Structure 1
Amino acid sequence: MAITDSLHREREESAEDVAEYVCPGERAAISPAVHLSRVARGYHKCRRCPHNPAIVDLNSGEAPVDQLAVDLPDDRDDRCTGLFRRDLGTAELELIAGRFAVQLHNRQEFPLASGGRTGQQPLPSVVVGYGDGPHDAEVALRLSATLRRYGCTTLSIGAVTASAMRFGVHHLDADGGVHASSGGLATGRIGVRLLDRDSFSESVESWQTSVSGLRTHEPITPTRRGGSTRSFDVTVPYSAAFLKHFRGTLGQGVAVECDSKLWLKNCRRVGDAVGLSITDPTTSGSKAFELVVDPEGERTAIHDELRNPVGSAELISLLSRDALREHPGSSIVLDWDLARKFRPLITSLGGDCVPSNSSPRSMAATIRDHRGLLGFDSTGRIWYRQDVPTADVLLVLAHLARILSRSREPLSKLLRREALLRHEPAEAMT
């Protein structure tokens, strides 16, 4: 009771310093008593009110981001990562989800429904998914519960890969997405990926806003109207979206090595539908080529049928030539490091080389804005233009299988031909 009285006195003292209050989006002023009442009840407009004492001031006395134990997204990984329960515990996850919900509310003004009642305003929708790590589902459940408490409708799509998550945000026309995935991280670490309504990863600046108060755990005000939740199986439309890329492929064996059972399951499902035999590299039998895929399913190293590594120059040349054969003059997006080396190659193939930063957000945005056919970055991702630009290795598998089916020649012979056309030795793709 004493704590409540003290907080009430602080709010009254702060209210005396303001002559009048005007709620965001309203014209008429309200009295200090109404202001305090709305703050206490969690009125939805109080999330954006500068006079709300519970709103976190991001510029006052907080620990610098570079001193936090969590790792912010970078060019190679678009997730915020940290040790589960130590760096990213319940309080930290709730703060990240709560601030993300506030950002979604603030990014657009939701129109009043018929009758003009506030309770009928639509709530932001957020797609929630998780990987196949030991703690991914638990983290996603905590994030989902917090999002609903802060006035968001959650759409659960279950265990999905990073690319399927981006597809889900676009397919369900959601306002954002939250993906919990520990794929490729050290034991005990988890990662949280935030997506905007364009299915692009949130920028580093947005993440700095989200995690700048993790060590202070300053509160943010929940809404008085909680969101609902529903489920949707996105794997069916996501797999169906890939089938068109396998048209014209002949039955052949492909060796795939990946630590993610989730991605392998989806790969085998698509392979069975198009007549490809997806096997383990250790099994006997002839294989057209071999893919070594990262746990997120977005980066790959490729080996030919002789298990020789495929060079980056030959791979860029082979895939770009195939894409430009049907769409001459189109854009091929390369990050700056690759663009400096391979711009003449793309130009000689009849394409327009468009440079970009190598972060997933920048690559996806550049492909969308320039209508690029595909893109390559130095981290090993190969991007294709879909409804949402994606770097799922399934697309690389589809296009390589189609090239081999059309040429009816082994991959090693095609790569040697590309090397002769370029008059340069191959470089191993990292």
Structure 2
Amino acid sequence: MTEPGTSSTKLPAPVGPISYTCPGELYSIPRSIHLARIAAFYSKCRDCPHRFDQGSTVPPPSQNLSSPAAEVRRPVVRTSLLTDESVRGVYLNELTRNRAIAWGEALAAMLWDDKPLIALPPDDGRSSVASDPQIPIGKPATRGPQVVVGFDERPSSPDIVTGVVLGLRRMGCPVIDLGQTGLTVLSFHLQQSGARAGLFVTGAGCDIAMTGFELLDQGGMPFSQSDLVRMESIVNTGIGRQTRQIGGHTPVHPHALYEASLTEHFHALRPLRVAFGTSSRQTQRTVKQIFTRLPCELTPIPLPTRKRDLLNPLDPDLQRIAKGVVDGRHHLGVVVDEDGQHCAFFTDQGRLVTVKEIARLLVEITQRDHLSAQFIMATSLISDARVWLTGRDATAVDGGESNSSLLRSLVDRQAAAAFSGDGRVWFRHEYVACDALIVLANILKALSLSDTPFSEVIDRISTAEGKSP
């Protein structure tokens, strides 16, 4: 007999205390807070595998868990962490330190395939390695392909990069460790050092709970989709060690050399007031250091680490910068995204400048120094670019839409610059650079040619669109 008011079906008593860990967090929370966050529509619950937890409601034993209704409630697990040209996953839920070890090993395995193990002679003081182009003269011989590694400012990045370094060294790859830095700094040092590849731990372009990798080859070009698919296949299947020798680990501080390389782009500028927004403390420190030697005035505006749309004028961070430009009577405003590559510009009237307008302005300023320059354009920009260049010595070439295809065309054709549909720009100087600060330098140079306000310069470009220059 059951007492009145009680159910005839008893719920199973909990075996012990249950704790949960929200995506992107390092600490656990009790079940009560877990349920409260679900009820309050906590943002991280969207990626949590326990987001369908119903509290004390337990399905009766007779319920068919294979029914369509139960299938709908089952959490969806991603089978791949690949985006178009990078790797992204939820920290701890999808990408952990142990998983990062596997990704480091997979990268090493791919590099070993291109450079099989060659036995080096014993170091008796008489052997020479100068004939090996992978071993710089005056430096000790290395047995494995060298990899440059760095990580961004997200809380999860130090944990993930530790796993990557362990995986690379376990496979015999010497690691050049840049520590906490930016993707643009890593790309610069990769091409300066001649290392075989670069791996940058970052969740740029995603919410704070995400982490992942950007992978670059020896020339600073991003890995293609086929390379990433091959790499993830190795991660899922595993691979044996290529050598029993542990790869070396060399910490490097590259920022002074990187900042010196940027200085040459900031010259002959008129006094301009610039509102500068970014979520990267490293980028903010770098641009402050550069502006101390310029006649320009910089107003830093810190932004949160979050996913933002630099093409959308209604994005909250973009609206904040636009308001700061107008209120502070600045000549222009700029937002540099977390990766240091994407950027957005605002006129003195607070209007967001479009990707096409920025591309045309950069084409004009580049042509001043290279009259018959060639430009690589994304497919979405090529028709407009050919109209801009009508009657000029310069030419525009369709480079496709992917970053790897744009960069390949840039290098193969020795073009002056490449432009992507999402606003990124690559310049080819001493090295190939996709750096928002170099873009900023060129915009400042264009505005320094006259006293014309930025808004009038952009209005001229907008009016001229669709017409021959």
Taking structure 1 as the reference length, what is the TM-score of the superposition?
Answer: 0.76
Q: Per-residue displacement from partner, 1:114-143 (whole Å, max 9, x unpaired)?
A: 4599x9763221111001111112211211
Aligned counterpart for 2:198 among listed residues 172, 177, 187: 177
Q: How does 1:2-401 map to 2 (within 5 A)?
A: 68-74=78-84, 78-109=85-116, 112-114=119-121, 122-212=143-233, 214-215=235-236, 218-221=238-241, 223-279=243-299, 280=301, 281=321, 282=324, 285-401=328-444
Give me the whole-angstrom Cα distance separating, in 1, the residues matched to 2:466 and 2:382: 18
Is 2:437 aligned against 1:416? no
In structure 1, list runs of 5 or more residues that go unmatched.
1-66, 425-430
Name the CA shift for 1:355/1:256 in 2 (closer, same or farther; >3 Å).
same
Give me the whole-angstrom Cα distance separating, in 1, the residues matched to 2:172 and 2:278: 38
The answer (yes or no) to whether the contact 2:170–2:241 under 8 Å persists in 1 is no
3-state SS of 1:372 partner? coil
1:96 positional shift = 1.2
Letter in 2 for 1:126: V
Letter in 2 for 1:153: P
3-state SS of 1:406 partner? coil
Give me the whole-angstrom Cα distance separating, in 1, the residues matched to 2:455 and 2:93: 48
The answer (yes or no) to whether the contact 1:183–1:260 under 8 Å persists in 2 is no
Which has a greater percent of helix? 1
Give me the whole-angstrom Cα distance separating, in 2, the residues matched to 1:371 and 1:110: 34
Give me the whole-angstrom Cα distance separating, in 2, the residues matched to 1:99 and 1:266: 33
Give me the whole-angstrom Cα distance separating, in 2, the residues matched to 1:389 and 1:347: 27
Letter in 2 for 1:407: S
Q: Per-residue displacement from partner, 1:263-304 (whole Å, max 9, x unpaired)?
A: 222222222233432213438533121112222121122111
Name the CA shift for 1:269/1:346 in 2 (closer, same or farther; >3 Å).
same
Letter in 2 for 1:351: A
Q: Per-residue displacement from partner, 1:322-365 (whole Å, max 9, x unpaired)?
A: 11121111111111111133222134443110111222222222
Q: Per-residue displacement from partner, 1:224-274 (whole Å, max 9, x unpaired)?
A: 100111111111111111111112112321112222222222222222233
The answer (yes or no) to whether the contact 1:335–1:376 under 8 Å persists in 2 is yes
The answer (yes or no) to whether the contact 1:347–1:353 under 8 Å persists in 2 is no
3-state SS of 1:246 partner? coil
Letter in 2 for 1:91: N
Give me the whole-angstrom Cα distance separating, in 2, the residues matched to 1:310 and 1:173: 37
1:176 positional shift = 1.0
Match of 1:406 in 2: 449
Name the CA shift for 1:175/1:227 in 2 (closer, same or farther; >3 Å).
same
Letter in 1 for 2:245: R
Letter in 1 for 2:452: E
The answer (yes or no) to whether the contact 2:384–2:465 under 8 Å persists in 1 is no
The answer (yes or no) to whether the contact 1:72–1:79 under 8 Å persists in 2 is yes
Letter in 2 for 1:197: Q
The number of residues matched between the two structures is 354
Give me the whole-angstrom Cα distance separating, in 1, the residues matched to 2:106 and 2:354: 43
The answer (yes or no) to whether the contact 2:103–2:167 under 8 Å persists in 1 is no
Comparing 275-284 and 308-317, the one that deviates more: 275-284
Name the CA shift for 1:175/1:395 in 2 (closer, same or farther; >3 Å).
same
Letter in 2 for 1:163: T
- For the aligned residue pairs, the C-alpha RMSD in angstroms reads 2.5
Give me the whole-angstrom Cα distance separating, in 1, the residues matched to 2:213 and 2:433: 18
1:395 positional shift = 1.0
Name the CA shift for 1:120/1:417 in 2 (closer, same or farther; >3 Å).
closer
3-state SS of 2:437 partner? helix
The answer (yes or no) to whether the contact 1:176–1:195 under 8 Å persists in 2 is yes
Give me the whole-angstrom Cα distance separating, in 1, the residues matched to 2:231 and 2:463: 51
Letter in 2 for 1:71: L
The answer (yes or no) to whether the contact 1:84–1:190 under 8 Å persists in 2 is yes
3-state SS of 1:179 partner? strand
3-state SS of 2:362 partner? helix
1:215 positional shift = 4.8
Name the CA shift for 1:214/1:150 in 2 (closer, same or farther; >3 Å).
closer
Letter in 2 for 1:199: G
Give me the whole-angstrom Cα distance separating, in 2, the residues matched to 1:389 and 1:348: 28
The answer (yes or no) to whether the contact 2:110–2:231 under 8 Å persists in 1 is no
3-state SS of 1:129 partner? strand
In structure 2, list runs of 5 or more residues that go unmatched.
1-76, 128-139, 302-320
The answer (yes or no) to whether the contact 1:152–1:226 under 8 Å persists in 2 is yes
3-state SS of 1:274 partner? coil
Give me the whole-angstrom Cα distance separating, in 2, the residues matched to 1:337 and 1:163: 25
Match of 1:7 in 2: none
The answer (yes or no) to whether the contact 2:147–2:199 under 8 Å persists in 1 is yes
Give me the whole-angstrom Cα distance separating, in 1, the residues matched to 2:376 and 2:245: 44
The answer (yes or no) to whether the contact 1:166–1:388 under 8 Å persists in 2 is no
Comparing 219-228 and 156-165, the one that deviates more: 219-228
